[in-house]
Every structure is written in structure tokens, then in C-alpha cells.
Structure 1
Amino acid sequence: MIEPGMTSTLQANIARLTDRAAREKAAAPWPARVADHITGFTGSMTFVLLHLVVYGLWVVANLGWLPAVPRFDPTFVILASEASVEAIFLSTFVLISQNRMAAAADRRADLDLHINLLAEHELTRLVGLVARVAAAVGVPIEDPADQEIQRDVAPEQVLDALDARDHSAATAAGRDGA
């Protein structure tokens, strides 16, 4: 069934990309899958509530407010140590997951660039074809921009120009901050 406002091609693309994402997730090495699961759980409200309960009971017990429970960490040194070790491991799991997400984002950005370059090339060729058709039927093309859009974009020149702009901005910022 085609969703309203979506072409069958778009829906097929979504389905293929969803299937690919599921295959990539299933093919991920087990340490990465474990890190993703841990990161997913630790980023949930269940994790927050669990910590509120456990740490809350720890504090209440060690303040002596629960007479039936002996004070096992009256200075909270054990709690602080446990929290520090937990933070070390959780930050490591988060970094592992972020690295995987960054790699996936880089791949999607690369795909976007290639598709955009292909679309630009196809549009450039289409503009050239339209210009030839216009010339064949005697319609003058007077806008100088029409000549410009008949040329392919050179991505390496665009990147060089962006790098030069960023370098100039960084140099200017360095002078302003000095």
C-alpha cells in the first residue's frame, strides 16, 4: 500500500534502507552491539529511576535513617568510588556507540555527496539538452547564467575554496584573539 504523498519509489527506497540498516546492525561485532545495548539502557528513564532508588536507599541507609539496616558506608567513600567506576565504564560505552554512529553518519554524508554530484551532473546535461533544443527551434538564450549552469561542478575546487575560507576565518579569529 502506498502512503499518501509518497511515491512507490520513495517507499521502496525507505524499505531498502531500513532493511540495510537492520542487516548492518545484526552484522555489527558483538562488543559494539553490547555497547549499544548498554548505552541504550543507560540513556533511559528506567536507568535514572533505578539509580534514584539504589542511590537513594544507599544514602538513607548510611545516614542511619533505616534502623534495621546497618551503616555500611557512613562516609560515602564506597558510593563515590562505585559512581566513579560506573562513570568511567558508561563514558567508554557511550564513546564506542558515538564512534559507530559517527562512522554511519560519515557514510551517509558520503552517499549524499555522491548522489548530489550525480544529480548535479544529470541536471547539467539536461540544461545542455534544453539549450540545444532551444537553439534548434530558434529560441534565444540570453541569460549568461544559463551558460554557467551548463558546466559541471568540480567538487575538489569547491572543497579547496571552503578550506581556504575556513583557513582565512581561523587566521582572522587568531588575530582577533591575540
Structure 2
Amino acid sequence: MLPRPASTRASVKNIDAILSLEKREEEKLALHHRVFHAIGSFVGTVQFIVVQCVVVACWIAVNAFFADHALDSFPFPLLATILAFEAVFLTSCVLIRQNATDRILEKRDHLELQINLLAEREATRSLRILQKIASRLDIDDEDCRHDELASETSVDQIARDLQERENAGAVER
């Protein structure tokens, strides 16, 4: 097998780190949360719909065709009660799973923001070095002299500008 290029090895390492982080977060969940996650995951599948339809059809068939010994005769009030309870329970499971997913996504967004800020700082530093090299080599480029990309980006200023634009957009609506 051929050795992987360095960029691919770095990508694999990054992917492994993210997967490891997500696995640790999942392991922190209490057992009942993991059970709710599993139920919430299963509910959103075609298999669940098939199982649900088969169970309801069998319930109706058994109670309709064996009316003499029916546990739940037409209009099937027990079935309706069970399905209503199931709907509430499954909705709760899905919401619990969604809340946990939202927390994970918020953490991932925060991590992504931190990485982007570091990348921006590195790019700014690289541009400054390139400008110094160009200056020492007497390369005259008017675009490089006062390049705003080579100056530090103020995250606070960007946040204030964003807030002002959002507020102005809310006023216009």
C-alpha cells in the first residue's frame, strides 16, 4: 500500500479527533438518555412505520374477526388510547434526542468558530510576512501597501457591526 500524502494524514487525524470527541460526548449521556436516543432514532425509520402498520393491522384483524373473544371491539378504544400514549411517548423521545443533538451542534459551532478565528489570525500573520518580504525585495505593489487583510480582525467590532445590521434589518421589517 502506498503511503498517504501528509494532507490526507492530517485530514484523517482531524476526522478521528472529531469522532473521538463526539463519542466521548455520547458516552457522557446517562443510560436513560441513550435509550431515548435509540428510540428516537428508530422512530424516524421506514422499519418503524412498517412495524407500526403491521401491529395496528393485526390488532384490528384479531379484534374484528374474533369478535366473540375480542379484547378491544370496534371502534377500538383501547387501541386509540395505546396509540395516543405512544404518540406522546415517542414525541418526547424525539424531542429529547433533538435537544441533545442541538447541544452537540452548538459545541461543534463553537469549535468551528475557534478554528476559523485561529485560521484568520494565521492568514493575517502570513500576509504580514509576505508584505515584509516584498518590502525587503523592493517589490512595489500598491495593493499590498495598505492591505486591510493584513491587519488584525477585531472580533468584537465584527460582532457589533453584525448586531447593528441585524437591528437595522429588524427596524426595516
TM over 0.5: yes
Cα deviation, residue 14, structure 1: 1.4
AA aligned to 1:151 is S
Counterpart position of 1:141: 141
- Check conservation: 1:35, 1:96, Cα contact below 8 A: yes
Counterpart position of 2:52: 51
- Check conservation: 2:134, 2:140, Cα contact below 8 A: yes
In the alignment, the residues of structure 2 paired with residue 27 and residue 36 of structure 1 have an alpha-carbon distance, to the nearest angstrom, of 13
In the alignment, the residues of structure 1 paired with residue 80 and residue 4 of structure 2 have an alpha-carbon distance, to the nearest angstrom, of 53
Structure 1 residues 37 and 147, CA gap change in structure 2 (3 angstroms): same
In the alignment, the residues of structure 1 paired with residue 56 and residue 4 of structure 2 have an alpha-carbon distance, to the nearest angstrom, of 48
Please give the per-residue CA displacement for 1:67-117, whole angstroms capped at 9, x wherever unaligned. Answer: 675262312322222111111111111111111111110111111111111
Structure 1 residues 76 and 68, CA gap change in structure 2 (3 angstroms): closer
More helix, by proportion: 2
Which range is displaced more, 137-146 or 64-73? 64-73
TM-score (structure 1 length as normaliser) = 0.84
Counterpart position of 1:164: 164
In the alignment, the residues of structure 1 paired with residue 101 and residue 49 of structure 2 have an alpha-carbon distance, to the nearest angstrom, of 23
- Unmatched runs of 5 consecutive residues or more in structure 1: 174-178
Q: Supply the RMSD in Å over aligned alpha carbons.
A: 2.4
- Check conservation: 2:67, 2:73, Cα contact below 8 A: no
Larger relative contact order (CA 8 Å, sep ≥ 6)? 2
Structure 1 residues 19 and 66, CA gap change in structure 2 (3 angstroms): same
- Check conservation: 1:41, 1:47, Cα contact below 8 A: yes
Cα deviation, residue 46, structure 1: 2.1
- What percentage of residue pairs aligned between the two structures are identical? 28
In the alignment, the residues of structure 1 paired with residue 55 and residue 8 of structure 2 have an alpha-carbon distance, to the nearest angstrom, of 51
AA aligned to 2:33 is A
In the alignment, the residues of structure 2 paired with residue 76 and residue 85 of structure 1 have an alpha-carbon distance, to the nearest angstrom, of 14
Cα deviation, residue 123, structure 1: 0.7
Counterpart position of 1:79: 79
| 1:117 has 2:124 as partner | no
Cα deviation, residue 124, structure 1: 0.5
- Check conservation: 1:61, 1:69, Cα contact below 8 A: no
**Partner of 1:7: helix, strand, or coil?**
helix
- Unmatched runs of 5 consecutive residues or more in structure 2: none
Structure 1 residues 12 and 5, CA gap change in structure 2 (3 angstroms): closer
In the alignment, the residues of structure 2 paired with residue 66 and residue 164 of structure 1 have an alpha-carbon distance, to the nearest angstrom, of 70
TM-score (structure 2 length as normaliser) = 0.86
| 1:93 has 2:93 as partner | yes
In the alignment, the residues of structure 1 paired with residue 130 and residue 144 of structure 2 have an alpha-carbon distance, to the nearest angstrom, of 15
- Check conservation: 1:73, 1:79, Cα contact below 8 A: no
Which range is displaced more, 49-58 or 14-23? 14-23
In the alignment, the residues of structure 2 paired with residue 71 and residue 99 of structure 1 have an alpha-carbon distance, to the nearest angstrom, of 38
Structure 1 residues 4 and 145, CA gap change in structure 2 (3 angstroms): same
Cα deviation, residue 15, structure 1: 1.8
